[in-house]
Amino acid sequence: MYTEKLMQLFMNPKNVGRIEDADGIGEVGNPVCGDVMKIYLKIEDDRIVDVKFETFGCAAAIATSSMVTELVKGKTIEEALKVSNKDVAEALGGLPPQKVHCSLLAEEGIKAAVDDYLAKKGNTKREASETKQCAKA
């Protein structure tokens, strides 16, 4: 069963659309269920000043896309990268177990868009720091 908050964002999602001159674009998908998310970021002084999404998928995919845009808007890149799929799910009041993958796609979409932004700037800082974290595990 979906929460009221999830249904509200499914029926009236926020930040839908694309940013034509986006600084970073992330596209992620789940081949099992067919959900595809595309996240667009506009960044000024390392802060996300605008974020939009286009999602093809179920109600949970659309709602998690909308929620993650709300959670990262106005944050620095570093702060946005700390937004987890659990944060997205909690902000929606929870997700059914079979839909948790939608919140993971939302998290991955933001990270992919940031990676794209950093690559365009010729910076691979995030990838290097993640590699170090994996080596420690």
Q: Kindly report, residue by residue over 105-128, the tens digit of the pLDDT.
A: 999 999 999 999 999 988 765 553
Token duo for residue 75: 């944050």
Q: What is the model's pLDDT at position 123?
A: 77
Distance CA 130, CA 67 (A): 24
Q: Helices 59-72 and 100-120: crossing angle, nearest 10°?
A: 50
Q: What is the CA radius of gyration of the chain?
A: 14
Q: What is the pLDDT of residue 47?
A: 97
What is d(CA 43, CA 21) in angstroms, rounded to the nearest whole number? Answer: 11
pTM across the whole model: 0.86
Which residues have a catalytic role annotated? 33, 102
Q: Are strands 36-44 and 47-56 parallel, antiparallel or unpaired?
A: antiparallel
Q: Do residues 101 and 33 lie in contact, with contact meaning Cβ atoms separated by under 8 Å?
A: yes
Three-point CA angle 114, 87, 37, nearest 5° = 45
Measured at the alpha carbon of residue 60, what is the angle toward residues 43 and 12, in degrees to the nearest 5? 70
Mean pLDDT (10-residue bins), the chain, 137 residues = 94 96 95 90 96 96 97 96 96 95 95 95 59 34
Closest CA relative to residue 7, chosen from 69, 87, 66? 66
- The per-residue pLDDT for 129 is 38
- Domains annotated for the chain, with CATH where assigned, are 4-136 (3.90.1010.10)
